[in-house]
Amino acid sequence: MQNKRPEFVPDQAKWRIASAVAAVAGLFTLVLASLLIINYLQIRAADPLDHPELLKLREQLAASSENDEALVEQIRTLDLLVRKAFFTSQAQLRVGGRLLLAGAVVFLVAFRLAARWNPKAPSPGGAPDRLGYWRVLAQSRELITGVAIVLVLVTLTAAYMTPLGIPAPGVADESTEGTAETDTVPGGAAARVPTWEDMLSQWPSFRGPGGYGVAHFTTAPVKWDLQAGEGIRWNVEAPQGSFNSPVVWGSRLFLSGATEALREIYCYDTETGALLWRQALPAFAGTPETPPKVSEDTGYAAPTMAVHGDRAFAIYATADIACFDFEGRLVWGRNLGVPENHYGHASSLIAFGDKVYVQLDDSKQPRLLALDAATGDEVWAAGRKKISWASPACAPTPFGFQLLLASELDVDGYDPETGTLLWTQEGLDGEVAPSPTISGDVVFVGNEYAMATAVRLSGSNEAVHSEIIWQWEESLPEVASPTSSDDHFYIATSLGEIVCLDKNTGEEVWLHEFEQGFYSSPIRVGDRIYVADLKGTMQIFGTGREFELIAALDLGEPAYATPAYLDGRLYVRTEGRLMCIETDAAH
């Protein structure tokens, strides 16, 4: 079989253009491929956690006999910068891979067209083997093309095999890898999806299981003496600069904290109060260079975390949301887009089933998001009419579990599985901070300068109906969220009032005035209500039709966060302390 001579279509102008494009694209591809391979080798060889300056600072901290907070802050800041540079380099590597592929395609196309449009047909120059000449010429072109393809494939493989994640600060895990979309770094296989019964025996979110202000256990302490240490299992310094409340799962307690430049998670041992680890979030794609403006009452880490099984979730004013395992390894993280509001993101997270829910208070596009708890991927998004400071609750109703949200206009019920809006009722106004509560088939919300509204649900699982059955406009909450019993709703105001309202009629059952106001939310624990006032006194009273003060116990300093209530224990975060109060605590 004889090789056919290629067909030539001479065109000098097109040949010059194609030759120039091929030369430029070839040089671009070669240089970019070299840079990408060098970058790949550097990333593979260098651990960002072993940055020379970081190692030097850590050695200084280890050698120091005292806790040097300035040095610790310097280490955190440099660590954050190193990590940000690392993730930026990885992103550039992926972009470079795409540019390389485009350059290679342009080179090959231009190279082929230049050969086709060559104004002077190639000649064997009198060589005796004319067929051999054409064979060598064709093989040369194929060799050039093959080398270019191999070079591109090797470089693209290097670019896309580069790991996108690094271990969280202070944690070494050589086996971790990541995926691009959510900056994932698996920290081991997740446990089974927790059930509602699992959640009831923990304190997984703001205001407890389901987030509506009712504890499952009824054995919280009713006496202690902070000064004498009676009933105090442990009392340690709490991280500063945030107002979020503790969440607990098993032997782990979690808090979050943030400044303009740093976002952290803290994990404590519930038995000893020891700080097991503190991890800083890296910068994700979309993390703002300049943090958003926040109010003093909000800060950069106002939302309370959610803990679900063996995963802990945190979100910040920057809209960075991250998932860590119990060993402090980053499982996934992403930025949801900084919300536009005038106070900073404040809504706490809540997890249920295989999802974690985010009420994103963006004044231009308020929405409720459901993220896959295992990966951080968006499962569904539901639009909302208005924003609020409030946090979502996920509560059992006679018609299945519902996500309950309050906004500056209304209270809504959503299907947690699909995001379908099941019902809505107007009745709120102003900047709404208190979150909803529920008792049986009645949902209750309230806010200062508006109305407290009771909404009764009826119908069926397929078609839920809602109806306002009464409203209250006297003593109303400003920050603290209400709680409920079988027959009553309870409101705590910033002026120091506690109001008990009849669940079915809205009539005032009793009202009691304390000397201090309340920002911490009241929690029902069996037949008692616990609420910490602004001065730092835990007020404990009964749920009956007559006001009965059971105890007023000192917490030592102002309290804004809502405690966690578990079997025989109370975990309290005050302005500067974190403590475990225990019934019959050993000393």
Report the 3 state secondary structure along 352-369: ECCEEEEEECCCCCCEEE
In this structure, are 140 and 267 located in the same domain?
no
- Per-residue confidence (pLDDT) for residue 54, from 0 to 100: 57
Least confident of 23-37, 75-89, 176-190, 566-580: 176-190
Q: What is the pLDDT of residues 145-201, one digit of tens each?
A: 666 666 656 565 655 555 444 443 433 333 333 333 454 444 444 457 999 999 999
| Cβ pair 548, 500 in contact under 8 A | no
How many residues in total does the chain contain? 587
Mean pLDDT of 445-453: 85
- Per-residue confidence (pLDDT) for residue 123, from 0 to 100: 56
Q: What is the pLDDT of residues 59-81, one digit of tens each?
A: 565 555 455 666 656 665 665 56
Identity of residue 582: E
For the cut 90, the answer to whether the pLDDT of residue 388 exceeds it is: no
Identity of residue 461: N
554, β-bridge pairs = 537
In this structure, are 540 and 408 located in the same domain?
yes
Domain boundary among 161, 184, 205: 161
In a domain, 154, yes or no: yes
Domain boundary among 114, 144, 161: 161
Least confident of 31-45, 121-135, 312-326, 500-514: 121-135
Q: What is the pLDDT of residues 548-564, one digit of tens each?
A: 999 999 999 999 999 99
Mean pLDDT of 348-353: 96
Provide the residue range defining the domain that includes 571. 196-582
Mean pLDDT of 419-441: 86
In this structure, are 527 and 379 located in the same domain?
yes
In a domain, 559, yes or no: yes
- Per-residue confidence (pLDDT) for residue 28, from 0 to 100: 79
DSSP helix/strand/coil, 91:
helix
In this structure, are 142 and 220 located in the same domain?
no
Q: 182 burial class (0-12, 13-18, 19+ CB within 10 angstroms)?
A: buried
Per-residue CA distances from 487 to 84, 413, 502 (Å): 53, 22, 6
For the cut 90, the answer to whether the pLDDT of residue 351 exceeds it is: yes
Q: What is the pLDDT of residues 89-133, one digit of tens each?
A: 555 555 666 676 777 777 777 767 766 677 665 555 554 455 555
In this structure, are 72 and 139 located in the same domain?
yes
- Per-residue confidence (pLDDT) for residue 329, from 0 to 100: 95
Rg (CA), the chain: 31
pTM: 0.70
In this structure, are 348 and 404 located in the same domain?
yes
Q: What is the pLDDT of residues 536-547, one digit of tens each?
A: 999 999 999 999
- Give the mean pLDDT of the chain: 81
For the cut 60, the answer to whether the pLDDT of residue 49 exceeds it is: no
CA angle 133, 137, 139 (to 5 degrees): 115
- Per-residue confidence (pLDDT) for residue 211, from 0 to 100: 97
For the cut 90, the answer to whether the pLDDT of residue 15 exceeds it is: no
Higher pLDDT, 151 or 426: 426
For the cut 80, the answer to whether the pLDDT of residue 230 exceeds it is: yes
- Per-residue confidence (pLDDT) for residue 387, from 0 to 100: 79
The percent of residues above 70 in pLDDT, for the chain, comes to 72
Q: What is the pLDDT of residues 459-500, one digit of tens each?
A: 988 899 999 999 998 888 889 999 999 999 999 999 999 999
In this structure, are 123 and 209 located in the same domain?
no
In this structure, are 147 and 200 located in the same domain?
no
For the cut 90, the answer to whether the pLDDT of residue 361 exceeds it is: no
* Number of domains making up the chain: 2
For the cut 80, the answer to whether the pLDDT of residue 11 exceeds it is: no
For the cut 70, the answer to whether the pLDDT of residue 336 exceeds it is: yes
In a domain, 173, yes or no: no
- Per-residue confidence (pLDDT) for residue 139, from 0 to 100: 61
In this structure, are 121 and 251 located in the same domain?
no
- Per-residue confidence (pLDDT) for residue 179, from 0 to 100: 32
In a domain, 203, yes or no: yes
In this structure, are 367 and 414 located in the same domain?
yes
What is the CATH classification number for the domain harbouring 370? 2.130.10.10
Domain boundary among 139, 161, 183: 161
User: CA 578 to CA 19: how far, in whole Å?
Assistant: 72
In this structure, are 568 and 496 located in the same domain?
yes
The percent of residues above 90 in pLDDT, for the chain, comes to 52
In this structure, are 369 and 431 located in the same domain?
yes
Cβ neighbors of 72 (< 8 A, separation 6 or more) are 61
Q: How confident is the model at residue 202 (pLDDT cuts 50, 70, 90)?
A: very high
Cα atoms found within 13 Å of the Cα of residue 487, Cβ hemisphere only: 8
Q: Which residues in 493-563 belong to E strands, given as ranges?
A: 497-502, 508-513, 523-525, 528-532, 537-542, 549-554
